[in-house]
Amino acid sequence: MPVIAVEYTYSSETAAARDEVRPDHRAWLSGLVDAGTVLSTGPYADGSGALILVSAADENAARALFEADPFARAGLIDGARFTEWRPIMGAFVSS
């Protein structure tokens, strides 16, 4: 199954609201990690956004899945980029 790189961008104006919603956002992501859908996730060190690697049928399936993200439902994501990624070597290559 393809890997989709989901890149979120955030603004400083939504930082306080993200802090409030973050427990729900992380619980949602945790369920996707447990299901094997999210391969890895984490914020950028400068707080400007996050990278989430997702196993999905295609970009449209990943977009549909991420509509349920509590951050998205609360309008706390300034931008989201979905890009199919084809790992050749390393931890995310299927055997």
pLDDT in tens, 23-50: 999 999 999 999 999 999 999 999 999 9
How many angstroms separate the CA atoms of 88 and 23, rounded?
34
Question: How many residues comprise the chain?
Answer: 95
- 94 falls within a domain: no
Supply 44's token pair: 């950028």
Residue 93 covered by a domain: no
Segment 57-81, tens digit of pLDDT? 999 999 999 999 999 999 999 999 9
| 82 — pLDDT class (breaks 50, 70, 90) | very high
- Run of H or E including 83: strand 79-85
Domain membership of residue 67 (yes or no) is yes
Residue 9 lies in a domain: yes
CATH number of residue 43's parent domain: 3.30.70.1060
Sole residue written with tokens 């391969």: 39
Query: What is the reported pLDDT for 95?
Result: 58
CB 49, CB 87: distance < 8 Å = no
Domain that holds residue 43: 3-85
Residue 92 is assigned to a structural domain of this protein: no
Q: Is the pTM of this model over 0.85?
A: yes
> What's the total number of domains in the chain?
1
Q: Token pair for residue 40?
A: 């890895």
